[in-house]
Structure 1
Amino acid sequence: MSTLAWILLMSFGGGLLSVLGAALVARQLSPSAVTLLVSYAIGALLGAAFLELLPHALEHGDPARTTGTVLVGILLFFVLEKLVLWRHCHHEHCETHSPEAGQHDHDHGRSGLMILVGDSFHNFVDGVLIAAAFMESTELGIVTGLAIIAHEIPQELGDFIVLINSGFSRARALVFNLLSSLATFVGALLAYFMLSSLQEWTPMLLALAAASMIYVAVADLIPGLHRRAELRATVQQVSLIALGVASIFFMGMLLGDAA
């Protein structure tokens, strides 16, 4: 297949799989089973960032500029997340500060709409990153796409639950999540035609993609695992994180041999 065909397939199919997978998980699996997905997603994100994205970015870009982009990217994602928190929680009696957080009634769709806006932007960026990775190599694009799908399922699951708690029906939450996932397709399509004439930006975008994956794994996903500190849960989490890293490693080797 052509590079454009791969980009469209991974961005459209990946977004669709993430949303449908999250809906299926929300319907079938227990909360403890969701933790398994989160642990695996952490490993997949870190594996893709350190074993695939950064090596390719360093190989084709200036090392100092690449590592600097990673640092700036992590700080940027921190600031963006702070802005979202401030926008969502700008007074001391909001859900984040309230001891009764999570026990409120529906908010008439307010938090659900905010989630959809934020998720659409996130999906758009994911599409740009997928396109940049495929324009570097098909192998890197597939690994990046799989890592994004792996972490999108638990994230979409969280969004799905927020939409339901915000007053959306299950069917309406699924439809709006599917519409939001189309932003991945749009971002990938626009990035392909823009980056084709700006190839020198590809290493920086790969570094930014790595920063995004590292930040999501370390800042957003890992803290949730610390809620279960018992030995058995810890061993399970570490094993699944290692499995996520290993899956990216062997996928990279397999695709590299086939290339």
Structure 2
Amino acid sequence: MSTLTWIITASLLGGILSLLFAAILALNARVSWLSMLVSYAIGALLGAAFLNTLPEALEHSDDPKQITLIVLLGILVFFILEKLVLWRHCHLEDCEAHDLSHAPVAAVSSAAGHHDHDHGRSGMMVIVGDTFHNFVDGILIAAAFMVDVQLGIVTSIAIIAHEIPQEAGDFIILLNSGYTRRMAFLMNLLSSFATLVGGVLAYFMLHNMNFLVQPLLAIASASMIYVAMSDLIPGLHKRPEIHATIQQVTLILLGIASIWIMGGFFPHD
């Protein structure tokens, strides 16, 4: 397949698969399933970042220090952006409740009958934010495929893995905001097409600006590392029991191993 075909296939398949799995999880409201998936997603994200995306960016760069600097700055930028989101939704004197690291699990927990809330996030605002997030994912997928197929595939797997719990959380938030199940599914489906738009646009733009591919791979690494370490891992600490910890570590290792094994199936171009 051509590079563009890989990008289109990964973007469409990734969006549809993550949405279908998210809908199944959300409608069944199985908190345990979502908690397990979050652990696996952490491993997939860290595996893709440290075993594939970052090494590839360093390998194709004339200045490795510049790549690591971009990763460092990327993590800082993601931190600032998340702070702005928290500030935007902060209820001034009730800000301590804004724990985004466990938002998907909290949303499903709410649907299962446990006390929780969406911290004032309306359904439409969630969709707008998710659409932008999906658009950026499409750009990162395109940048990875334009280096080689193996990198594109493992990057796509990592993105899909962390999108499933996120989409499930968004799905429940839409239901809690008054949307019907059909409308919530359709809105999430439309939002997922932003991945395809971002991927295709990036493909044509990066052909004329090849110098942006390595920085984008570095930003992709920063994104994966930040999401895993800042948004997902803190939620696991809410279950400090030894059996839960063993399960979490096992699933994280499984996520890393799956990325490593998947990379072995596809030789570098």
Q: What is the TM-score when the length of structure 2 is the normalising length?
A: 0.89
The answer on 1:114 being equivalent to 2:115 is no
Between the aligned partners of 1:92 and 1:161, the Cα distance in structure 2 is 26
Q: SS where residue 146 of structure 2 aligns?
A: helix
For 1:73-95, what per-residue CA distance to the aligned partner results, in whole angstroms no more than 9, with x for missing partners?
A: 00011111111111112522479
Partner of 1:53: 53
Partner of 1:83: 84
The answer on 1:38 being equivalent to 2:38 is yes
Q: Please list, as runs of the form range in 1=range in 2, the aligned pairs for 1:1-259 lying within 5 A after superposition.
A: 1-28=1-28, 30-61=30-61, 62-93=63-94, 96=97, 103=116, 111-256=122-267
Structure 2 residue ranges without an equivalent (≥5): 99-113
Q: What is the TM-score when the length of structure 1 is the normalising length?
A: 0.93
Root-mean-square deviation (CA, aligned residues, Å) is 2.0
Aligned length: 253
Between the aligned partners of 1:102 and 1:112, the Cα distance in structure 2 is 19
Letter in 2 for 1:41: A
CA positional deviation for 1:255: 1.1
Between the aligned partners of 1:33 and 1:131, the Cα distance in structure 2 is 30
Between the aligned partners of 1:44 and 1:147, the Cα distance in structure 2 is 5
For 1:119-166, what per-residue CA distance to the aligned partner results, in whole angstroms no more than 9, with x for missing partners?
A: 111000000000000000011001101110011001111111111111
Asked if 1 retains the 8 angstrom alpha-carbon contact of 2:41 and 2:255, the reply is yes
CA positional deviation for 1:55: 0.5
Between the aligned partners of 2:256 and 2:96, the Cα distance in structure 1 is 35
Between the aligned partners of 1:226 and 1:188, the Cα distance in structure 2 is 35
Between the aligned partners of 1:124 and 1:182, the Cα distance in structure 2 is 8
Between the aligned partners of 1:20 and 1:177, the Cα distance in structure 2 is 10
**Percent identity at matched positions?**
63
